[in-house]
Amino acid sequence: MTGISTAALRAAVPDAVRTIARTLRDAGFRSWAVGGCVRDELLAELFPERGAPTKNDWDLATDARPEQVQKLFRRVIPTGIQHGTVTVLLRGQGYEVTTLRGETTYSDGRRPDDVFFVSDLAADLERRDFTVNAIAYDVLADELHDPFHGIDDLRRRLLRAVGDPARRFAEDGLRVLRGARLAATLDMDLEEATRAAIAPSLDSYRQVSAERIRDEWYKAFKARQPSRAFEIMRDEGLLAVTAPELLRLRDLVEAGLDVDALTLSFRTMDLLPADPALRFAGLCHGLGADHAPDGAPGAAPAEDAQGGVGAAAASRARALAARLRLSNADRDRVVTIVRHHRLPPCVDGGDPELRRWLREVTPQRVEDVLAVQGARLRAAQQDAALERWAAFRDRVRAQLEEAPPLTARDLAVTGRDLMDVVGLPPGPVLGRTLDALVGVVLDDPSANTRETLLEHARRLTSD
């Protein structure tokens, strides 16, 4: 019927899922695996070169009511029981079991006004977003149900809305974003009518919460080429709603480059490893491009530490990260990377300058910063700057190997020593002396011995 072998799907079904299906069957109910798990296995079957599917949750749909599901299993969490979902815990894993639902009205473009349960699988599949997500697999009968020809769409690599795309997108604004994200994670194209329905549905997209947008962005960042998602967002108006500051980069071309700053950001992001915060930083690094000096495509101007392209980009990236509710840890990581995305002046300086730069970037963030610098220069095809970057990277790593003292905490003396031995009073003088000693060891790490530093402290405070 569907013209596809179920062998791989059959082999992929976890035992626990079969056990759940059998328990439901023995109690007189039916169930199907449905959604991402079925889709991803079939896609891997059709395109083995994509490799094994990344882990997706095995979700089951059933004609049993949530209360009935709850009674059949020993360990059950009522995850979203009002929407019909309970999580069955089996051998330490959770499996979502959701009662078949029909579609109701959406007055807010976000959540159905109320949920009603149905016993008909077709009605449940009809309310799903894309045809490739509306394929059900009866794991006991080894039978696929594909009323909207999702398998044909998987073959053609087309994302097509189930039913009338304009209506479906108006109902739930998250769907357009899922469409963009899935195009990237599945390496698929949006079918023409589906794409055409996005722009007229932006009013419902505007209702989507920042947390949900962040979650979809993070999923997109895990794609082989996240730019596929962001190109759709750029072209169909989602980016204008969520991140107008990024969209503006489309109209900026820095001196010495032949692509606009948004395209450069997309390429940089794609070249980075699939680590969401790192790719977020790659995406936002260009936010200060309007502050870039003319004719210096590779390096930042010497005054950048105080202002300029890195600082402007960092403060805008911070605002965007806060708006999209990134965790504090991710936000801080993004901000540091973005601030230092250009080759610093110390590329051409000596080791003391390099250590001062290291102190500012912090050893913990150095590899992130180097990764984005390198990806950006590769994206911009700045071959000469890329060579300087590679030499800089090697010097930075060599410095790190030596674990040089960078902060007051790394000094061979403490504030206590300065009070007890040198006789400094607590307060600003003590602080300034410690800072001066940090300066001494940044210039010359071999000065970081108790004797030498105490000597310096005495000399500093005697005049």
Contacts to ligand ATP by CB under 6 A: 35-36, 56-57, 59, 128-129, 133-134, 172, 174-175, 178, 219
Task: Report the DSSP beta bridge partners of residue 89.
Answer: 94
Minimum CB separation of residue 342 from ligand ATP in Å reads 35
Our CB check for ligand ATP shows the closer of 186 and 358 to be 186
CA angle 286, 288, 292 (to 5 degrees): 100
In the bound complex, what is the minimum distance in angstroms from residue 59's beta carbon to Mg ion?
6
- Describe the chain by its helix, strand, coil percentages, rounded to 5: 60, 10, 30
Between 36 and 310, CB nearer to Mg ion: 36
Q: How far is the CB of 178 from Mg ion (least distance, A)?
A: 11
Question: Which residue's Cβ has the minimum distance to Mg ion?
Answer: 36
Strands 93-99 and 116-117: unpaired
Q: Is the dihedral of CA 266, 270, 272, 277 positive or negative?
A: positive
Query: Of these partners, Mg ion, ligand ATP, none, which one is at the site of residue 165 (CB under 5 to 8 Å by kind)?
Result: none
E strand or H helix that includes residue 94: strand 93-99
- Nearer CB in complex with Mg ion: 35/112: 35
Please report, as a single letter, which amino acid is at residue 461: T
HSE (side-chain half, CA atoms, 13 Å) at 106:
18
Which residues in 23-62 contact Mg ion (CB under 5 A)?
36, 56-57
Q: How far is the CB of 395 from ligand ATP (least distance, A)?
A: 42
Contacted entry of Mg ion, ligand ATP, none for residue 219, CB cut-off 5 to 8 Å set by kind: ligand ATP
Q: Which is nearer to Mg ion, 19 or 56 (CB)?
A: 56
Terminal alpha carbon distance of the chain: 92
User: Does 298 participate in binding Mg ion (rule CB under 5 A)?
Assistant: no
Contact 254, 289 (CB under 8 A): yes
We find the least distance from the C-beta atom of residue 85 to ligand ATP, in angstroms, to be: 10
* Identity of the residue, 129 or 254, whose beta carbon is nearer to ligand ATP in the bound complex: 129
Kindly tell me which of 57 and 348 has the beta carbon lying closer to ligand ATP. Answer: 57
The nearer residue to ligand ATP, 57 or 258, going by C-beta atoms, is 57
Residues 192-231 within binding reach of Mg ion (CB under 5 A): none
- Residue 128 interface partner, choices Mg ion, ligand ATP, none, CB cut-off 5-8 Å depending on type: ligand ATP
Give the alpha-carbon dihedral of 89, 94, 97, 103, to 10 degrees: 150
Instruction: Choose from ligand ATP, Mg ion, none: what does 387 bind? Cβ within 5-8 Å by kind.
Output: none
Long-range contacts at 354-361 (CB < 8 A, ≥ 24 apart): 354/395, 354/396, 354/399, 355/399, 355/404, 355/406, 355/442, 355/445, 356/442, 358/396, 358/399, 358/400, 358/404, 358/406, 359/406, 359/407, 359/442, 360/305, 361/336
Which residues of the shown chain bind Mg ion in the complex (CB under 5 A)?
36, 56-57
